[in-house]
Chains A and B, each alone.
Chain A
Amino acid sequence: MSTRLAKGGRLIDRSTRAEFMFNGKRLSGHQGDTLASALLANDQMLVGRSFKYHRPRGIMAAGPEEPNALVNLGHGDRVEPNQRSTTTELFPGLVAQSQNHWPSLEFDVGVVNSYVSRFLPAGFYYKTFMQPRAAWKHLFEPVIRQSAGLGPAPKSPDPDRYEYVYGFCDVLIIGGGIAGLQAALTAGQAGKRVMLIEQTPHWGGRAVVDGDVVEDEPAEDWVKSAIDALATMKNVTLRTRCMGAGVYDHGYVLANERVADHSPGDGRPKQRLWRIRAGHIITATGAIERPLSFAGNDIPGVMLAGALRDYLVNYGVSLGDRTVIVTNNDDAYLTAIALAEAGLAVPAILDARTEVTGDLPERARALDIRIEAGRAVARVKGGKRVTGVEVCLQAGEGAVLEEIVCDAVAMSGGWSPVVHLWSHCGGKLTWSDHISAFIPDTTRPPITHDGSPMVTVVGAAAGIYRTDDIITSSGVVENTSPVPPVWVMPQGAPVALRSKMWLDYQNDVKVSDVQLAAREGYESVEHTKRYTTLGMATDQGKLSNINGLGVLSDALGEDIPRVGTTTFRPPYTPVTIGALTGEARGELFQPLRRTPMHDWHEANGVYWEPVGHWRRPYCYPRNGETHAQAVHREVLNTREKLGLLDASTLGKIIVKGPDAGRFLDMMYTNMMSTLPVGKCRYGLMCDEQGFLSDDGVVARIDEETWLCHTTSGGADRIHGWMEDWLQCEWWDWKVYTANVTEQYAQVAVVGPNARKLLEKLGGMDVSKEALPFMQWADGTLGGFAVRVYRISFSGELSYEIAIRASHGAAFWEMLHKQGAEFGAMAYGTECLHIMRAEKGFIMIGDETDGTVTPLDLGLSWAISKKKTDFLGKRGMERSHLADPDRWKLVGLETLDGSVIPDGAYAVVDGVNANGQRNVEGRVTSTYYSPTLKRGIAMGLIKHGPDRMGEVVTFNKVDGGTIAAKIVDAVFFDKAGEKGNA
């Protein structure tokens, strides 16, 4: 059984006590523990069930590579699935639940999958669920989704806070072991701006655990003085709990700092995502130990040898009293020595190598530890715990020579350099036969904009394991003690054993699965990965990839370098969506643009409509009105009395210069240069294709200055469009533009009483004579400096009044107060839409969709025949756009007075080549007109203007149809008397 030893544990504080809950059990650990070490200290060796077969699983590793010991961490709103207990720092009150079992961890129904495992081979899902197709959606997928998946996704909003930080440095060092520290010292002393990040809370990496000697000092002391030295350097930034997640182009690195994962609710952000621009990147990411593939290598009690050492040295925790070591390299002997020195039994070291020499084996021999060369584990005995191992010859087929009783097995298949960050941005790898691992090919590093290397790799990440070599940065891989390849143990294992050898613990991929994939023709490692799911779990194959490759290349009879690796992609370990989101959630999810009158709308029961990033009032329901009722009230009130519209969102672009008229003649389809000062003109803008892009009223301010109104959504786009032409094409034209949209609040004062209100306010002459339709004037109203445009989008007598934004709210409130006697009432965008449709005015985005020309909309009067050129002129002349068969805008009046559904098509008999119903047009705007008390619509109909009075048929969502007569698009006040009043 696993337990806390009486002594030892360099990272824990035995004077503290941290109580925590695991699967409802109250357990206790110390400050400094990880959840994994605390679980082991409480003899909780069974920590989860495997994904597919629901096999009992124990803790395998001590770091981020852990595949098994994933938990649902936290409770209430703070529950997080798939948290690795090996990297979770223990804190008092921690609550964790193991995953993937039902009804309980100890007794799990899903384990039945294990007994039918021969029926769940690689590619099982592909093979089984191909046919019938409908069954996938309705039967297989729901059932599989229910039984699969590790932790459940949290359902309530995350109560924590996240943020980004933009970091900059000359040298970014990822990994705070000896190699990273040494690199930081070197760069720091050279005066570089250095950032050193380490994913754990502790500096020093493995060297400290393994009792290495660095520059004649114990590693622990060396690390301490290195950190002390770095801390005094102003040019060096040190961050622990900060994981280098991804390396991207041009020295861009994402790193995730776990600020308050270990102190939830303490008011700090939970995590902080660093977005770092580094001049150069040094990866000092160390190496990860590989498991060995023997039958039963997943039974709780089997652990990586280095991890077992971590628990012993860092946390004073032993996995068992009797530990059998199985290895193919010298490093595992450190574990044997550490165990023996801690007074624990090591019944045997089974070494797959036939010859065992070297310093570490000699030290083990000196401690009287039994070393068996050329031996292997035939099978681990036990179910939820290891009870012993069967020993066989590595060279044989698994005939049992001997059984050794033990309660723990420490395995080491050698170490694989962590090459992920080196590889993210194109660093290449090379296979080292010497240590049987991929190592960075330093002749083919990731390169940056000028072709120079962007990343340097140091230490174990480069396959350099000896501290002397790291300090002098002169080592070569060959200095590391050799590791022969051992992919299957024993090498001639029969299928019964191979189907119990786990490669990928988390996704339950076995040696037999990869061999099956090879037999079925999967030669590419990328295909094999997807077919078997090897390396596709949350650990992304940190333990399994190389062993899987070894097995695959053996099965294919190819060298490993020829088979190659799968692609290493960021992030190195999972980063929660919360961290990637940063501050952008809730109110800050997206910028919301507010007009100066926003608060008034809110206080007056507004129902909002998003328009671009703006919020505009759709309507203002009163006293339990529906939105439709509110809109109808607003329409009638505006038509009969007085409506007030917040039109501040309208784009306002100043265009000024000697060439401004010439420029606007190019931008608009009609003539703007001839517009007299003081007057307004409606204009259309097309793109080069000839499609209508924006519209609005242009006012001539002075000899050199025009003010262009754009649609609310179009202000920034049209300003950019103008600048694009000015900067890239007509750079020698003397024109400047300025987007002054937000400088002014704008209010439309609309309706028969509009003039009465303005006259009451006083300050300027707004009479028909002084300010006729389509003119503007500067002046004051009620003491406010204003610019008044006599323009109308409703057909009513209408003034659009621009006022500085800082006065916007006060002016708006004054209009309501003073206008009350005239029936003043605010109206929203839907009322605006209905009124413009009643007048047959087009709306960009309704009548247009990027494929509609002004001619389609009957706007030929707004297309200058005199101008030699304007944007879209040539586009419109192309045969298809000039085709007389194009659908053209008309008004539509339903015969029964009902409203045509939005988006309806005008249908005709027969079907087209695709079997779709033939159509001859579509509705573009459709409303119930409160003024006319009937449905009105506009639509694009083939030969429409030539078919006045004809009846066309529109489809409905319910399958029925609706008949409508083609009429003039102007439904209301055709003579325009009201607007000209």
Chain B
Amino acid sequence: MHDLVSALGGKTFEGFAKIREIGPLGMISLRCDLRQKPLAAALKKLGLSVPAARRIVQKGGRSVGWMSPDELLVILPYADVGSTLETLRNALAVIHFLAEDVSDARAVFRIEGEKAEQILSKLCPVDLAGLEPGELRRTRAAQVAVAFWVEDGGYTLVSFRSVASYVMGLLTHSATKGSEI
């Protein structure tokens, strides 16, 4: 097995909050009618359940986030993607669905520290004070699409892989010491 290289190779920045590019993280894009029973059953096998609109359900190193009325994002260890895809495809075979590995199409960042929220408030048109626990927020960071949620006392932010360097630049700029709001 060859080494997996994330978009930025684990770049970090220490400003008034800490920025880390992590990953690669396993991600499966799953599309189907979210009310279908086989979906709930399939997610149950993974220890998860169908998230409500704009929520993310996390359990035992796996999570599943609501992306749109007919799309979920399953997040899991990279090594488990192949087997999980198979599990999902088998379980959902009776319904109309799409399950694709998108792990490599993404870049994942951690934003940690007491003032981590300020960094996102500079880039995303989101009322972070209103962000509820377990909420997955799809939005933009400056000019590109991102999604983020609260996890382990910080934020996990996902962007497309090709713009990882741009996103890292945004986060670095916003977290530069002296820029505290």
Listed residue (B4, B70, B162, B163) with the most chain A CB atoms within 10 angstroms of its CB: B162
Partner pick for B179 among A163, A587, A591, A743, CB 8 A cutoff? A163
A165-B122 in contact (CB<8A): yes
Confirm or deny: B155 has a beta carbon within 8 angstroms of a beta carbon on chain A. no
B181-A165 in contact (CB<8A): yes
Confirm or deny: A736 has a beta carbon within 8 angstroms of a beta carbon on chain B. yes
In addition to A168-B127, A736-B98, 20 A-B residue pairs with Cβ atoms within 8 Å of each other are: A163-B179, A165-B181, A193-B129, A266-B178, A267-B178, A583-B173, A587-B169, A588-B142, A588-B170, A591-B142, A591-B143, A594-B164, A654-B98, A654-B100, A736-B70, A738-B29, A738-B102, A743-B100, A805-B104, A810-B5
Confirm or deny: B125 has a beta carbon within 8 angstroms of a beta carbon on chain A. yes
Partner pick for A742 among B3, B4, B160, B166, CB 8 A cutoff? B160
Listed residue (B6, B70, B160) with the most chain A CB atoms within 10 angstroms of its CB: B160
Confirm or deny: B52 has a beta carbon within 8 angstroms of a beta carbon on chain A. no
- CB contacts (< 8 Å) of A591 on chain B: these are 142-144, 163, 166
User: Which chain B residues have a beta carbon within 8 Å of chain A's beta carbons?
Assistant: 1-7, 24, 29, 31-32, 70, 96-98, 100-106, 121-127, 129-130, 142-144, 160-166, 169-170, 173-174, 176-179, 181
A742-B143 in contact (CB<8A): no
Confirm or deny: A763 has a beta carbon within 8 angstroms of a beta carbon on chain B. no
B31-A736 in contact (CB<8A): yes
- CB contacts (< 8 Å) of B104 on chain A: these are 742-744, 804-806
At the interface, is chain A mostly helix, strand, loop or mixed? mixed
A161-B143 in contact (CB<8A): no
B162-A595 in contact (CB<8A): yes
* Bound: A41/B1 CA distance, A: 76
Known: A168-B129, A269-B179, A809-B5. Is A738-B160 also a contact (CB below 8 A)? no
- CB contacts (< 8 Å) of A165 on chain B: these are 121-122, 181
Contact flags (1/0) for A799-823 with B, using CB distance below 8 Å?
A: 0000011110111000000000000
Listed residue (A266, A582, A736) with the most chain B CB atoms within 10 angstroms of its CB: A736
* Bound: A275/B127 CA distance, A: 11
B96-A736 in contact (CB<8A): yes
* Bound: A161/B101 CA distance, A: 39
- CB contacts (< 8 Å) of A736 on chain B: these are 31-32, 70, 96-98
* Bound: A275/B2 CA distance, A: 46
Quote the shortest CB–CB distance from B14 to chain A (angstroms). 15
A743-B127 in contact (CB<8A): no
Contact flags (1/0) for A571-592 with B, using CB distance below 8 Å?
A: 0000000000011100110111
Q: Which residue of A lies closest to B162 (CB)?
A: A593
* Bound: A268/B179 CA distance, A: 5
B179-A161 in contact (CB<8A): yes
A807-B105 in contact (CB<8A): no
Known: A591-B163, A593-B162, A738-B31. Is A163-B173 also a contact (CB below 8 A)? yes
- CB contacts (< 8 Å) of B122 on chain A: these are 163-166, 583
Q: Which residue of A lies closest to B124 (CB)?
A: A166
Q: Which of A441-468 contact B (CB under 8 A)?
A: none
- CB contacts (< 8 Å) of A737 on chain B: these are 98
Confirm or deny: A561 has a beta carbon within 8 angstroms of a beta carbon on chain B. no
Q: Which residue of A lies closest to B70 (CB)?
A: A736
Known: A168-B129, A742-B160, A742-B162. Is A583-B174 also a contact (CB below 8 A)? yes
Range of interface residues on A (Cβ < 8 Å): 35 or more
* Bound: A657/B95 CA distance, A: 10
Listed residue (A587, A590, A657, A809) with the most chain B CB atoms within 10 angstroms of its CB: A587
Quote the shortest CB–CB distance from B126 to chain A (angstroms). 7
Query: Which 4 A-B residue pairs are closest in the complex by CB-CB distance?
Result: A736-B98, A267-B178, A593-B162, A805-B104
* Bound: A185/B84 CA distance, A: 56
Listed residue (A277, A583, A592, A807) with the most chain B CB atoms within 10 angstroms of its CB: A583
Q: Which residue of A lies closest to B101 (CB)?
A: A743
Known: A738-B98, A741-B105. Is A584-B179 also a contact (CB below 8 A)? no
Partner pick for B143 among A584, A784, A805, A807, CB 8 A cutoff? A584
Q: Which residue of B lies closest to A806 (CB)?
A: B4
A268-B2 in contact (CB<8A): no
- CB contacts (< 8 Å) of A928 on chain B: these are none
* Bound: A151/B164 CA distance, A: 40
- CB contacts (< 8 Å) of A277 on chain B: these are 125, 127
Contact flags (1/0) for A774-818 with B, using CB distance below 8 Å?
A: 000000000110000000000000000000111101110000000
* Bound: A161/B3 CA distance, A: 38
- CB contacts (< 8 Å) of A267 on chain B: these are 176-178
Confirm or deny: A54 has a beta carbon within 8 angstroms of a beta carbon on chain B. no
B179-A588 in contact (CB<8A): no
Quote the shortest CB–CB distance from A225 to chain B (angstroms). 26
* Bound: A806/B3 CA distance, A: 8
A168-B130 in contact (CB<8A): yes
A268-B178 in contact (CB<8A): yes
Confirm or deny: A656 has a beta carbon within 8 angstroms of a beta carbon on chain B. yes
- CB contacts (< 8 Å) of B4 on chain A: these are 804, 806-807
- CB contacts (< 8 Å) of B1 on chain A: these are 783
* Bound: A165/B169 CA distance, A: 16
- CB contacts (< 8 Å) of B127 on chain A: these are 166, 168, 277
* Bound: A740/B160 CA distance, A: 11
B105-A740 in contact (CB<8A): yes
What are some 24 contacts across the A-B interface (CB < 8 A)? A165-B121, A165-B122, A166-B122, A166-B127, A267-B176, A268-B178, A269-B178, A277-B127, A587-B166, A588-B142, A590-B143, A591-B142, A591-B163, A592-B165, A594-B162, A734-B96, A736-B70, A741-B105, A742-B106, A742-B162, A743-B102, A804-B103, A805-B7, A806-B6
Partner pick for A161 among B24, B123, B169, B176, CB 8 A cutoff? B176
A594-B100 in contact (CB<8A): no
* Bound: A703/B98 CA distance, A: 13
Partner pick for B100 among A740, A783, A784, CB 8 A cutoff? A740
Confirm or deny: A316 has a beta carbon within 8 angstroms of a beta carbon on chain B. no
Partner pick for A807 among B2, B31, B125, B144, CB 8 A cutoff? B2
Listed residue (A168, A275, A743, A807) with the most chain B CB atoms within 10 angstroms of its CB: A743
Known: A736-B97, A738-B98. Is A166-B125 also a contact (CB below 8 A)? yes
- CB contacts (< 8 Å) of B163 on chain A: these are 591-594, 613
A783-B179 in contact (CB<8A): no
* Bound: A613/B32 CA distance, A: 31
Confirm or deny: A596 has a beta carbon within 8 angstroms of a beta carbon on chain B. yes
Confirm or deny: A614 has a beta carbon within 8 angstroms of a beta carbon on chain B. yes
* Bound: A614/B29 CA distance, A: 24
Quote the shortest CB–CB distance from A262 to chain B (angstroms). 14
Q: Which residue of A lies closest to B178 (CB)?
A: A267
* Bound: A595/B160 CA distance, A: 11
Quote the shortest CB–CB distance from B28 to chain A (angstroms). 10
* Bound: A433/B170 CA distance, A: 53
A657-B96 in contact (CB<8A): yes
Confirm or deny: A658 has a beta carbon within 8 angstroms of a beta carbon on chain B. yes
* Bound: A592/B164 CA distance, A: 9
- CB contacts (< 8 Å) of A592 on chain B: these are 163, 165-166
Quote the shortest CB–CB distance from B119 to chain A (angstroms). 10
Q: Which residue of B lies closest to A582 (CB)?
A: B142
Q: Which residue of A lies closest to B127 (CB)?
A: A168
Quote the shortest CB–CB distance from B26 to chain A (angstroms). 11
Partner pick for B121 among A166, A193, A614, A658, CB 8 A cutoff? A166
Partner pick for B2 among A272, A614, A810, CB 8 A cutoff? A810
Quote the shortest CB–CB distance from A100 to chain B (angstroms). 35
- CB contacts (< 8 Å) of A738 on chain B: these are 29, 31, 98, 100, 102
* Bound: A590/B143 CA distance, A: 7
* Bound: A811/B2 CA distance, A: 9
* Bound: A7/B165 CA distance, A: 58
Known: A163-B174, A268-B178, A742-B160. Is A583-B142 also a contact (CB below 8 A)? yes
Listed residue (B6, B70, B105) with the most chain A CB atoms within 10 angstroms of its CB: B105
Contact flags (1/0) for A586-624 with B, using CB distance below 8 Å?
A: 011011111110000000000000000110000000000
B126-A583 in contact (CB<8A): no
* Bound: A590/B169 CA distance, A: 11
- CB contacts (< 8 Å) of B169 on chain A: these are 587-588
* Bound: A163/B122 CA distance, A: 7
